[in-house]
């Protein structure tokens, strides 16, 4: 019998170890639950077998939990009983009010967990309660990650030929890991190495024991940062890593979403421009893959009406995919005032989404729009919080590195990933160089409810898509978009792409939102001069359309024609 928490399952995963005030004494001074804790009974028809559950919320720490019936009863007793009483009073209260039996160990376990949540009565001020709560959760997370890292490295060493010989050569084992920072002793895996040693990057037993692994999928990366890489994963890998990372935000109901991605985004879902029947596009029973269109800047109203009709038919809880490919849908809905079913989330993947697109999605769909960091090689790894910082889930260790050292807060570095879950056991990654950049963030980020997850930083986009200012400063797609969308000058821009032609010469291609209305060229140039340098030569070219040029059909916010490949990049 556990305090099962959809929101905070990680807190309880490592067991109840916190000191419980008064737990060893025979008499308590009731009420034992802080008065701010809101405890509401909820019937959950169907999903958990028509049973009673409670939702508990603490406005002081912003912690929110689903609580099973028995623990809810105990919490009721802790809340309602008054004065100095023996613990048997709890059992009596529950018998009287709920006609249920409760054993002492269940009461003790519940008290221990409430102690960890900082939900027991205390004289501490709110700020101290809040800090203690988040620090406890972060500690539990760090402990869990360290444990998983050691297990993961051990599995790589024992099961995967490539890592076995690599770790033998370097004389390293999981025993060399005493804290997460010890990961830096281990060699990194480049994309080229992943491709070259692909045959030996899976467990030995893969061929002999297909029955162990269940259904498998080959996944190809989009190739947007060079040649494509392939990895092997269980069919459930994506949804599993998504739940692990978003668990804190996930609704207790099963998710259901429409996937709106560029035509060749992943090998697993390659379908180009050929329309596939609706029934054949439902993946895993809960994801509708929308028929892709090649060019988001010219897609027709008729196609968008088909999208709306499919959304009405499928009734998703949310949308996920590329913001640049959702933008025409939002624009169509806004212009025609077409009614669509209410969504509860939009997850942005695939690209650095321009704020131009994000703002319209937020306006039209009126639901949380969350930046997500997902790759075909590692699954769903990190999610953006309200501060704009990405937090990594417990299934992956993300490093932001300058050389082999962690980037300082505010510093630009390269992202490196180590997969930590058994779900990523088929092509496990040890310090894999993702080809993406991030600006490291101050730790910890105090946002709720993601504040206990690892703070990574602000994800900046592909290293291969960076440009440079006239003085040679690295401009990432995120930095460019922030500058270009930070004022009214971007009002009539629907799509743009900045191409660096020479060190001080740039072309900004713009597809206007309304072709009858001019764009604010001088405002745009002022913003770009501020970013790129006053001597930058900037030409704005109005376009009817911009084609996604990469093999993946992704849009890029910028790229460079210079071939000196950003020499000073960390
Ligand atoms: Zn945060």
Which of 18-32, 167-181, 259-273 is predicted with the least confidence, judged by mean pLDDT? 259-273
Report the SS3 class of residue 243. helix
Q: CB–CB of 433/282 below 8 Å?
A: no
pLDDT of residue 551: 64
Neighbours of 52 (CB within 10 A): 15
pLDDT of residue 18: 41
CA 341 – ligand 1 centroid, Å: 30
CA 396 – ligand 1 centroid, Å: 17
Q: CB–CB of 559/499 below 8 Å?
A: yes
Is 287 a domain residue? Answer: no
CA 146 – ligand 1 centroid, Å: 21
CA 445 – ligand 1 centroid, Å: 4
CA 456 – ligand 1 centroid, Å: 9
162-194 pLDDT, tens digit each: 999 999 999 999 999 999 999 999 999 999 999
Is 17 a domain residue? Answer: yes
| Rg of the chain in Å (alpha carbons) | 26
CA 390 – ligand 1 centroid, Å: 7
CA 142 – ligand 1 centroid, Å: 16
CA 8 – ligand 1 centroid, Å: 16
Neighbours of 144 (CB within 10 A): 16
- How far is residue 116's CA from residue 110's CA, in Å, rounded to a whole number? 10
Is residue 269 scored above 50 in pLDDT? no
CA 149 – ligand 1 centroid, Å: 23
Is 530 a domain residue? Answer: yes
CA 369 – ligand 1 centroid, Å: 15
Q: How many CA atoms lie within 13 A of 165 on its CB side?
A: 6
- How far is residue 436's CA from residue 477's CA, in Å, rounded to a whole number? 11
CA 442 – ligand 1 centroid, Å: 10
CA 138 – ligand 1 centroid, Å: 13
442-501 pLDDT, tens digit each: 888 877 778 788 999 999 999 999 999 999 999 999 999 999 999 999 999 999 999 999
Last residue of a domain, one of 95, 122, 149: 122
Report the SS3 class of residue 487. coil
Is 233 a domain residue? Answer: no
CA 383 – ligand 1 centroid, Å: 9
Report the SS3 class of residue 96. helix
Sheet holding 493-502, edge to edge: 537-542, 505-512, 493-502, 558-560
CA 395 – ligand 1 centroid, Å: 18
Question: 189 pairs with which residues across the strands?
Answer: 432
38-56 pLDDT, tens digit each: 998 877 665 555 677 888 9
CA 388 – ligand 1 centroid, Å: 7
Q: What is the CATH number of the domain that holds 472?
A: 3.30.300
Mean pLDDT, residues 352-374 taken together = 96
Is 194 a domain residue? Answer: no
With 0-12 CB in 10 A as exposed, 13-18 as middle and 19+ as buried, what is 472?
A: exposed
pLDDT of residue 234: 75
- How far is residue 552's CA from residue 438's CA, in Å, rounded to a whole number? 22
Residue of 147, 146, 139, 170 whose CA lies nearest to 157: 170
Which of 208-212, 506-510, 518-522 is predicted with the least confidence, judged by mean pLDDT? 208-212
Last residue of a domain, one of 70, 103, 122: 122
Helices (H), 42-81: 69-80
CA 253 – ligand 1 centroid, Å: 24
CA 454 – ligand 1 centroid, Å: 9
Q: Is the dihedral of CA 59, 63, 64, 65 positive or negative?
A: negative
Mean pLDDT, residues 147-162 taken together = 95
Mean pLDDT, residues 524-543 taken together = 97
What is the SS3 assignment for 148-168? HHHHHHHHHHHHCHHHHHHHH
pLDDT of residue 496: 97
Is 52 a domain residue? Answer: yes
CA 249 – ligand 1 centroid, Å: 13
CA 113 – ligand 1 centroid, Å: 24
Name the domain count of the chain.
Answer: 2
pTM: 0.83
Extended beta strands in 221-301, E state: 230-234, 257-260, 282-283, 287-289
CA 407 – ligand 1 centroid, Å: 18
Residue of 13, 427, 483 whose CA lies nearest to 220: 427
Parallel/antiparallel/unpaired status of strands 369-375 and 345-348: parallel
- How far is residue 12's CA from residue 197's CA, in Å, rounded to a whole number? 39
Token pair, residue 179, equals: 């804290």
Q: How far apart are the first and last CA of the chain?
A: 50
CA 68 – ligand 1 centroid, Å: 29
CA 309 – ligand 1 centroid, Å: 36
The answer to whether the peptide bond before residue 51 is cis (omega within 30 degrees of 0) is no
Token pair, residue 272, equals: 């180009």
What are the backbone angles phi and psi of residue 379, rounded to the nearest 5°? 85, -150
What are the backbone angles phi and psi of residue 333, rounded to the nearest 5°? -65, -40
Mean pLDDT, residues 419-440 taken together = 91
Q: CB–CB of 244/419 below 8 Å?
A: no
Is residue 158 scored above 90 in pLDDT? yes
CA 556 – ligand 1 centroid, Å: 26
Is residue 520 scored above 90 in pLDDT? yes
CA 99 – ligand 1 centroid, Å: 43
pLDDT of residue 254: 65
CA 477 – ligand 1 centroid, Å: 21
CA 501 – ligand 1 centroid, Å: 37
pLDDT of residue 505: 97
CA 452 – ligand 1 centroid, Å: 9
CA 351 – ligand 1 centroid, Å: 20
Is residue 10 scored above 50 in pLDDT? no
Report DSSP state, residue 322. Answer: -
CA 368 – ligand 1 centroid, Å: 15
Last residue of a domain, one of 90, 122, 154: 122
Give the CA distances from residue 397 to residues 137, 177, 417, 429, 516, in Å, rounded to whole numbers and listed in that order: 17, 13, 6, 10, 49
Give the CA distances from residue 258 to residues 307, 310, 326, in Å, rounded to whole numbers and listed in that order: 10, 9, 11
With 0-12 CB in 10 A as exposed, 13-18 as middle and 19+ as buried, what is 199?
A: exposed
293-311 pLDDT, tens digit each: 888 999 999 999 999 999 9
Mean pLDDT: which of 243-252, 274-283, 330-339 is highest? 330-339
Is 24 a domain residue? Answer: yes
- How far is residue 566's CA from residue 224's CA, in Å, rounded to a whole number? 17
Is 25 a domain residue? Answer: yes
CA 450 – ligand 1 centroid, Å: 6
Q: CB–CB of 430/243 below 8 Å?
A: no
CA 195 – ligand 1 centroid, Å: 34
Report the SS3 class of residue 401. strand
CA 37 – ligand 1 centroid, Å: 24
Question: 220 pairs with which residues across the strands?
Answer: 230
Token pair, residue 319, equals: 């949308």
Q: CB–CB of 504/448 below 8 Å?
A: no
Token pair, residue 339, equals: 């009614």
pLDDT confidence band for 1 (50 / 70 / 90) = very low
Q: Could you tell me the residue range of the domain that residue 17 belongs to?
A: 9-122
Mean pLDDT: which of 21-25, 26-30, 452-456, 506-510 is highest? 506-510
């Amino acid at each position: 019998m556990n305090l099962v928490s959809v929101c905070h399952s990680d807190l309880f995963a490592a067991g109840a170890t916190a000191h419980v005030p008064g737990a060893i004494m025979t008499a308590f001074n009731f009420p034992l639950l802080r008065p701010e804790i809101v405890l509401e009974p909820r019937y959950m028809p169907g999903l958990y077998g028509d049973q009673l559950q409670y939702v508990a919320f603490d406005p002081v720490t912003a912690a929110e939990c689903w609580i099973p019936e028995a623990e809810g009863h105990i919490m009721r007793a802790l809340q309602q009983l008054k004065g100095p009483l023996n613990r048997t009073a709890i059992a009596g209260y529950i018998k009287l009010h709920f006609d249920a039996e409760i054993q002492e160990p269940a009461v003790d376990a519940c008290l221990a967990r409430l102690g960890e949540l900082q939900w027991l009565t205390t004289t501490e001020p709110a700020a101290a309660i809040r800090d203690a709560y988040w620090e406890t959760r972060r500690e539990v997370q760090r402990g869990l990650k360290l444990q998983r890292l050691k297990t993961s490295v051990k599995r790589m060493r024992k099961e995967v030929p490539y890592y076995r010989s690599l770790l033998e050569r370097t004389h390293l084992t999981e025993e060399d890991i005493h804290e997460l920072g010890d990961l830096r002793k281990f060699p990194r895996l480049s994309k080229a190495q992943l491709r070259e040693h692909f045959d030996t990057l899976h467990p030995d037993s893969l061929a002999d024991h297909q029955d162990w692994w269940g259904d498998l999928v080959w996944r190809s990366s989009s190739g947007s940062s060079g040649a494509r890489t392939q990895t092997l994963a269980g069919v459930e890998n994506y949804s599993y890593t998504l739940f692990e990372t978003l668990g804190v935000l996930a609704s207790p109901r099963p998710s259901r979403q429409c996937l709106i991605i560029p035509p060749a985004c992943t090998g697993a879902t390659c379908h180009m421009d050929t329309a596939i029947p609706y029934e054949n596009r439902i993946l895993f029973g809960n994801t509708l893959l929308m028929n892709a269109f090649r060019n988001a800047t010219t897609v027709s109203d008729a196609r968008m009406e088909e999208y709306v009709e499919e959304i009405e038919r499928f009734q998703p809880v949310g949308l996920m995919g590329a913001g640049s490919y959702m933008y025409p849908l939002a624009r169509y809905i806004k212009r025609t005032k077409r009614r669509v079913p209410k969504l509860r989330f939009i997850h942005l993947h695939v690209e650095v989404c321009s704020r131009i697109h994000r703002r319209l999605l937020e306006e039209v769909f009126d639901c949380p729009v969350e930046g997500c960091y997902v790759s075909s090689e590692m699954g769903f790894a990190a999610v953006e919080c309200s501060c704009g910082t990405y937090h990594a889930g417990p299934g992956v260790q993300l490093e932001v590195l300058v050389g082999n050292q962690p980037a300082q807060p505010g510093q630009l570095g390269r992202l490196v990933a180590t997969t930590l879950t058994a779900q990523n056991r088929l092509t496990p990654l040890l310090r894999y160089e993702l080809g993406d950049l991030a600006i490291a963030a101050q730790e910890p980020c105090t946002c709720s409810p993601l504040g206990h997850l690892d703070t990574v930083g602000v994800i900046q986009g592909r290293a291969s898509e960076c440009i440079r200012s006239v003085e040679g400063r690295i401009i990432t797609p995120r930095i460019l978009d922030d500058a270009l969308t930070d004022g009214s000058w971007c009002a009539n821009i629907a799509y743009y792409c900045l191409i660096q032609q020479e060190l001080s010469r740039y072309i900004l291609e713009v597809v206007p939102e309304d072709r009858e209305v001019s764009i604010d060229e001088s405002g745009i140039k002022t913003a770009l001069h501020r970013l790129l340098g006053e001597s930058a030569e900037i030409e704005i070219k109005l376009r009817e359309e911009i084609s996604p040029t990469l093999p993946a059909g992704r849009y890029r916010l910028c790229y460079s024609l210079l071939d000196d490949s950003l020499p000073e990049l960390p």
